Structure 1
Amino acid sequence: MPVERKRRRTDVTTVEIVGGVVKRELYLTDHDPGWAEAYAEHEHRIRAALGPAAVQVEHIGSTSVPGLAAKPIIDVLITVADITAEEDYLDQLVAAGYDLRVREPGHRLVRTPALDAHIHVMEAGDPLAEDYLLFRDRLRTDAGDRELYVRTKRALLEQEWADMNAYADAKTEVVTAIKDRARAAGHAG
C-alpha cells in the first residue's frame, strides 16, 4: 500500500542537472577498505549539518560492498521526511561543502567539489530508497550476484558512454534481476 505523504508543496516535475551533462572518465578499482572510513566522514558531516532532518543516512552503491570493484565514488543515501521541504536540508548540505547537482521528482543529488562522493536525498519510505538498500544488502550477502554485477560493470566499461547516467542506465536489466532475486529470497524491500 502506498505511503501517505504530507508535503509542504508539490515536488518538482522536471529533471534539472545543475551545470549540464558532463562526460567523465569511468573506471573501476579494486575494493578499498578506506571507502568505509570515507563514508563515515560523510555521515558525520551530514548528521552534523542536518540533525534530526536526516531520518536515515546509509552507505550505498558499490563502495559499500566489501570485495566489490567500484568507481571510486562514495554514494550516500539520506532520507528526509519531505523531499519538497528543501529548506530543511539543501542549504545545510551546501553549507557543509556539497554542491547541488540534480533536482528531480523524488530525488536530489549533491556531490563533493572533488566529485568523489554523491549524496542522494530521498523521502523516507520511498520505494526507490528502499531498493538502494535491498540491492546493497543482496550484493553484500550473495557472491554469485556480486560476481555477475562486477562482470556486467566491466563489460559495460569497455564501451564509450556519453555520461555516467547512460552507463548507469545500461546496468538496469541486471540490477532489476538482482533485486528480484533478493525479494524472492525474502529480503526486505
Structure 2
Amino acid sequence: MANNNQQPTPAEEGNPWVHGAPTVEHLEVVPYNKEWPSRYTALEARIRETLGGRAVEIAHVGSTAVPGLAAKDVIDIDLTVADPRREETYVPQLTALGYDLTVREPWWHEHRMLRLAHPRVNLHVFGPGTPELSRHLMFRDWLRSHPDDRDHYTKAKATAAPGARDAMEYNSRKNAVVEQIYERMYEVQR
C-alpha cells in the first residue's frame, strides 16, 4: 500500500541496495578535522565541472559541515538534479569520477546515493524542492549556531558508534538526540 504521498513503500519496491547489502564498515567518530571544508570544496568543484548545468545545487551537509563537531570521516554532499530518476544524465559522469551508485530509493523523494571510497563521500541525490534538502541545511545551520546542541550531538555520536554493526544501527542509536534538536529547531520556526 502506498503512503500518504502516494509513493511506493520500501516493501513494495524491494531492497534499496543496488549491489546487495553493504559490507560492514568500521564506524569511528573522530574529532573535527579542519581539512573537511577544503576537501568538500575540491569535491564540489569536480562534480560541478563534470555535470555542468545538470548540477542544480550542491551543498556540504552532515557533521563534517559543522565546525567543531566530531564526525565520521565521511563527507556528506547533497546534489540536486532536475530528475533523479533520469540516472543516465548524471550517474555515468559521476561513475567516471570514481563514485558508485549504491542506493536507489524511489519511495523516498527519489533519493539516490553514490559513494566515493577515497576520500570517503556519501553523495545524496534529490530533485528540486525535496523537503529533505531543506531539512539537511536547517540542521547543519542550527548546529553551526547553537554550540550547546552541537556538543550534545557530539556526545550522542560518540556513544552511538562503538559496537554499531552498520550506519543504520549507528543512526538509530543517536536518533532520540536528533529528534530533540529538531524539536528545538522547529520551535524557533513557529
TM class, shorter-length:
0.7 to 0.9
* SS of structure 2 residue aligned to 1:120: strand
Partner amino acid for 2:16?
E
Partner amino acid for 2:128?
A
Cα RMSD between the aligned structures? 1.8
> For the Cα contact (< 8 Å) 1:14–1:104, is it kept in 2?
no
Deviations 1:35-63 (A, max 9, x none): 00100011001111111111110001111
| Residues paired across the two proteins, number | 175
Listed as ranges, the gaps of 5+ residues in structure 1 are 1-11
Partner amino acid for 1:120?
H
Residue identity (%):
38
* SS of structure 1 residue aligned to 2:189: coil
Deviations 1:93-140 (A, max 9, x none): 111221111111221111113361111111111111211111111111
> For the Cα contact (< 8 Å) 1:99–1:110, is it kept in 2?
yes
In structure 2, relative to structure 1, the CA distance for the partners of 1:65 and 1:110 (3 Å cut) is same
- Normalising to structure 2: TM-score of the pair? 0.85
Partner amino acid for 1:171?
K
Mean Cα deviation higher: 138-147 or 98-107: 98-107
Residue in structure 2 matched with residue 75 of structure 1 by the alignment: 76
Mean Cα deviation higher: 29-38 or 84-93: 84-93
CA-CA distance at 1:19 after TM superposition: 4.6
CA-CA distance at 1:184 after TM superposition: 1.8
Residue in structure 1 matched with residue 33 of structure 2 by the alignment: 32
Runs of 4+ in 1 over 6 A off after TM superposition: none
- Normalising to structure 1: TM-score of the pair? 0.86
Residue in structure 2 matched with residue 86 of structure 1 by the alignment: 87
> For the Cα contact (< 8 Å) 1:55–1:80, is it kept in 2?
yes
